[in-house]
Amino acid sequence: MPTAPPTVKPASRRTGWIIVAGIAAVLLIVTAVVWMNGDSYQDTVAACKKALNSTSTKTNRPDACEDVKADDYDALLISYSLQHAFDDMPQSDQDLLDYYDDGSINGSLG
């Protein structure tokens, strides 16, 4: 007499939930790794600061500055302009505090 083929039991609900939980865990780990390796906003601002040059304006942003907020970009432009204006001054005019202040008025002010 021929033997009957073995019957395959259907997967239990527990097995299904274990598979779903495993897939969810893998997706969570992959998402966390991708998110942690991404640039932060501070990294973006730092890259923008390095990319600024004499042709940078409110309407002519470098590519590195596209994701920087308008207020932050304006502050970077002002900082860049002031720094270069200061650097372009003669060295004698750049001396802001060229005296020793010992706490008394002894000719150091004036």
pLDDT in tens, 46-101: 999 998 988 888 888 888 888 899 899 999 998 888 887 777 777 666 566 555 55
Query: How many folded domains does the chain comprise?
Result: 1
Domain-located, residue 70: yes
Domain around 66 = 40-89
Handedness of CA 73, 79, 41, 65 (dihedral sign): positive
Residue 63 within any structural domain of the chain: yes
pLDDT of residue 96: 60
| pLDDT of residue 14 exceeding 70 | yes
Tens digit of each residue's pLDDT (9 = 90 or more) over 34-47: 888 877 888 889 99
**Nearest residue to 80 (alpha-carbon basis) of 58, 102, 101:** 58
pLDDT tens digits, 69-82: 989 999 999 888 88
